[in-house]
Amino acid sequence: MLPGILYTAEPGLVIGFHGCDQEVRDSVLAGDEMLRKSVNAYDWLGNGYYFWQNNFERALEFARYPPGKQPCERPAVLGAILNLGNCLDLTDKKCLISLEESFHELRLSTRITGKVLPGNKPAADSGELLLRYLDCSVFEYLHVVTEREKGLPYDSVRGIFVEGKPVFDGAGIYDKTHVQICIRNPNCILGFFLPREAASWP
């Protein structure tokens, strides 16, 4: 076993929610198609399948108001059972150190080759830093190096993002703070489900 691997897996299963059009949700649930992998150059956690951890409301909000994209005609939410496996967890100090080291290595590499690192950019409509070109580049570089040097790729990436406005005057808590999961290994998506309304009980 490689050093540091013992505690990189989430102990147990995780619930994730994906905002999409109802047609996509129904097709995935029926087994007619798989979710489309996100491969945008500005993906927050690199390329993969994106989910909001335990956050149905944010998934639905994303389907209704996707930043920089057209809203879904029929906004819907797809639930998923996830196993994070070997996770690059950004709440883990050693993972943050790996990410920082990858940035410095990538920056040096681009200087040597005469290239320029992309920068993160704010969205035109909100001014928030939603276009994460730099972050995505660093994540993708980290994955290439990790797989080449250790032979054990990360199955997933998870991060906490502080976003939005303070929930009250002077607060240090923000109204769009969320946990986002990027699944790289599709085998970590154990199944999909249709989220249901809570029943009245007792």
pLDDT digits (tens, 9 = 90+) for 122-154: 887 767 888 999 999 999 999 999 999 888 899
pLDDT of 8 = 58
Q: What is the largest CA-CA distance in the chain?
A: 66
pLDDT of 1 = 35
pLDDT in tens, the chain (202 residues): 344 555 656 668 999 999 999 999 999 999 999 999 999 999 999 999 999 999 999 999 999 998 777 889 999 999 999 999 999 999 999 999 999 999 999 999 999 999 999 999 988 776 788 899 999 999 999 999 999 988 889 999 999 999 989 999 999 999 999 999 999 999 999 999 999 998 999 9
Domain ranges of the chain: 14-192
pLDDT of 2 = 43
pLDDT digits (tens, 9 = 90+) for 151-175: 889 999 999 999 989 999 999 999 9
Pairing between strand 156-161 and 178-183? Answer: antiparallel
Please write down the HEC assignment for all residues of 93-110: HHHHHHHHHHHHHHHHHH
pLDDT of 10 = 65
pLDDT of 5 = 52
Per the CB < 8 A criterion, the answer to whether 25 and 77 are in contact is: yes
Closest by CA position to 158, among listed 181, 137, 135, 142: 181
pLDDT of 71 = 87
Pair of tokens at residue 15: 């619930």
